[in-house]
Amino acid sequence: MPALTTTADGFLLRGDPFRIISGALHYFRVHPDQWADRLHKARLMGLNTVETYIPWNLHQPRSGAPLGLDGILDLPRFLRLAAAEGLHVLLRPGPYICAEWDGGGLPAWLTADDGIRPRSTDPRFTAAVDAYLDLLLPPLLPHMAEAGGPVIAVQVENEYGAYGEDTAYLEHLEKALRGRGVRELLFTCDQADPRHLAAGALPGALATGTFGGGVERALARMRDHRAEGPLMCAEFWIGWFDHWGGPHHVRDAADAAADLDRLLSAGASVNIYMFHGGTNFGLTNGANHDHAYAATVTSYDYDAPLTEHGDPGPKYHAFREVIARHAPVPDGPAPGPAAKLAPRDVVLDRCAPLFSGTASAAPSTTVAADRAPLPMDRLDPPSGFALYRSALPAAGDGVLRFSGGVGDRAQVFVDGAPAGVLERERGEEALTVWVPRAGAALDVLVEDLGGTNYGPRIGDRKGLLGPVAFEGAPVGPWTCRALPPDVPEPSAFAPTGRTTGVGPAFHRGTFEVEAPADAFLALPSWTKGLAWVNGFALGRYWRRGPQRTLYVPGPVLRTGANDLVLFELHGSAGLTARLTDAPDLGPEAH
Ligand code: GLA
């Protein structure tokens, strides 16, 4: 008997009437030393439950590898901390999770399989999912409510009705979970309209809805879909995410609080998406590809009740007040903001150019390709960047054509000099270049800006996507190399000279800290790249915005000397970075 059961209009938890008041908090977007703090603040806002997805591709970046379950991936520890805080947990193991996460959580090594049909009964897909669940579920079963743990319900797939109609696939997942010992309540979630609900629901699972407004209408549509059972909004969108080149999205706190009140007044259960968004650390962000490709930024602040840096924002207080009208909220004052590091400048006065050799020593295999360069998924290790090298067949002005385009942003160099950039977002396939001599070196540095996480383009290839020609003459052979942008050894850096800071290069600076605390890294004179503090990958920065600062979690800093490293893809107008005490996520759109 599962701990959580349903009645004609609600839930029972171990036989007692229960309403789920949950908030989304993705452990993989929060530094693990901050999990306990965020969970505590969830309970203080009045939540009785937290919800998290599980990102398959982060737990298993290589096919057949054991699951990573340590550090930021130590989900069992997250579940223990939630239980210690007295919170229940909703688990959403996917295997597809959407979530503005690279590839929607589906590993690139799987979706790159030629002709595979992800999220379907394609046996290649279901066999991989089964093998994943074989590894994932044993460490999670002790945390199910039945075993005394906090997990009271498990989601099957994610908004499947927006994608497909292969109900047999959903049934396969249901059986796969049940067959591996999951006995808790299962649920599906779909956008609250009749077509999505019909295609995404499963007879044996609770059907829940995802929406941010139009509460009465959404609840009515859910009631039309199922005449009986609890009404639950599995994703109550109280904010939104941002793309590079777009505005920073915010939603008015009073407006979101009024909708929360409507939901709770209607007797519905809720999962606030997000309660605390956190950060797409490293290269983990996803992308959308509707009319054009658009990559999601590093911050996943989401304008959530708890900000990206874990401070209560206006929605925290507004929601706490609303919840208190419907359910008990812990006594005492709401938590205040955490300490911030006093602002300071960091001078990045040492540099290791990418093309000089020393900085590109990270292990990776070079693959030769005679005709067309290979896409990134054919290179090892999975890395987010690739470097392609060939020679140009003729001299002079001409058009360099990349058939099939690039995935997602290619910087072109002729004899080491920057010649231009091509972007998937703009559908670019050609560049006019000046070639000084026949046989000039052609280098193409390609960045995977994040795998599309929604719609039919999940699994789209990255890297150079087809043959390359200069003035119609084929370019080749190629050497193709994955380029994991790992922080080079300190010995690889030399003092930055007048010209060494030009082009793709790692830059390093040190700064002193008296007492570690949260900070925000502002890079006003830098162009585009990645930033690390003490080896921890903060994520991508891009002058394009909207986001202008990167969150530096306090636990990443140490008392004494700290290292800041940038992998700058272009160049900078100065050698200074600034640590500030407030975030700047850019110009707002409501
Ligand atoms: C959908 C998905 C979520 C997320 C939100 C938007 O509801 O299920 O994973 O992508 O949209 O933030």
Assigned token pair, 173: 């997942």
Average per-residue pLDDT in the chain? 96
Provide mean pLDDT across the span 148-163: 98
pLDDT of residue 360: 47
DSSP letter for 72, please: G
pLDDT of residue 367: 82
The pLDDT tens digits for 446-459 are 999 999 999 999 99
Task: Tell me which of 28, 190, 454, 458 to substitute to probe ligand 1's pocket, judged by most ligand atoms within 8 Å of the beta carbon.
Answer: 454
Provide mean pLDDT across the span 184-189: 98
Neighbours of 331 (CB within 10 A): 6
- Give the helix ranges, DSSP H, for 312-438: 314-326
Which residue ranges form the domains of the chain, and what is each CATH number?
Answer: 4-324 (3.20.20.80), 344-353+489-580 (2.60.120.260), 362-483 (2.60.120.260)
The pLDDT tens digits for 2-52 are 999 999 999 999 999 999 999 999 999 999 999 999 999 999 999 999 999
Structure confidence at residue 113 as a pLDDT band (50, 70, 90): confident
pLDDT of residue 363: 54
Whether 89 and 152 have beta carbons less than 8 Å apart is answered as: yes
In the chain, % of residues over pLDDT 90: 94
234 lines ligand 1 (CB under 6 A): no
Output helix, strand, coil percentages for the chain, rounded to the nearest 5. 25, 30, 45
pLDDT of residue 357: 54
Whether 204 and 186 have beta carbons less than 8 Å apart is answered as: yes
Q: Which atom of ligand 1 is nearest to the CA of 99?
A: 9
Structure confidence at residue 589 as a pLDDT band (50, 70, 90): confident
Provide mean pLDDT across the span 147-172: 98
The pLDDT tens digits for 234-288 are 999 999 999 999 999 999 999 999 999 999 999 999 999 999 999 999 999 999 9
Task: Cite the beta strand spans of 424-465 per DSSP E.
Answer: 430-435, 441-447, 463-464
Give catalytic residue positions. 159, 235
pLDDT of residue 359: 44
Which residue in this structure is represented by tokens 């009319």? Answer: 291
Q: How far is the CA of 98 from the centre of ligand 1 (A)?
A: 6
Q: How far apart are CA 25 and CA 32, in angstroms?
A: 12
- Higher pLDDT: 579 or 368? It is 579
Q: How far is the CA of 99 from the centre of ligand 1 (A)?
A: 5
pLDDT of residue 42: 98
Q: How far apart are CA 384 and CA 269, in angstroms?
A: 39
Whether 386 and 376 have beta carbons less than 8 Å apart is answered as: yes
Provide mean pLDDT across the span 536-540: 98
Q: How far is the CA of 60 from the centre of ligand 1 (A)?
A: 22
Q: How far apart are CA 424 and CA 529, in angstroms?
A: 17
Q: How far apart are CA 92 and CA 216, in angstroms?
A: 26
Residue 22, φ and ψ in degrees, nearest 5 = -120, 160
Q: Does pLDDT of 500 surpass 80? A: no
Assigned token pair, 69: 């379950």
The pLDDT tens digits for 408-442 are 999 999 999 999 999 999 999 999 999 999 999 99
303 lines ligand 1 (CB under 6 A): no
pLDDT of residue 52: 99
Structure confidence at residue 501 as a pLDDT band (50, 70, 90): low
Q: How far apart are CA 283 and CA 117, in angstroms?
A: 25
Residue among 168, 36, 453, 498 nearest 284 (CA): 453
| Alpha carbon nearest to ligand 1 atom 10, residue | 99
Assigned token pair, 553: 């979690």
The pLDDT tens digits for 213-232 are 999 999 999 999 999 999 99
pLDDT of residue 361: 44
The pLDDT tens digits for 361-392 are 455 677 887 789 999 999 998 899 999 999 99
Q: Does pLDDT of 462 surpass 50? A: yes
Which stretch of 178-192, 398-412, 480-494 has the lowest confidence by average pLDDT?
480-494
Provide mean pLDDT across the span 340-358: 89
271 lines ligand 1 (CB under 6 A): no
Provide mean pLDDT across the span 384-406: 97
pTM equals 0.97
pLDDT of residue 25: 98
Q: How far apart are CA 459 and CA 451, in angstroms?
A: 7
Q: Does pLDDT of 300 surpass 90? A: yes
**Residue 187 to residues 263, 291, 430, Cα–Cα distance (Å):** 19, 31, 48
| Alpha carbon nearest to ligand 1 atom 5, residue | 99
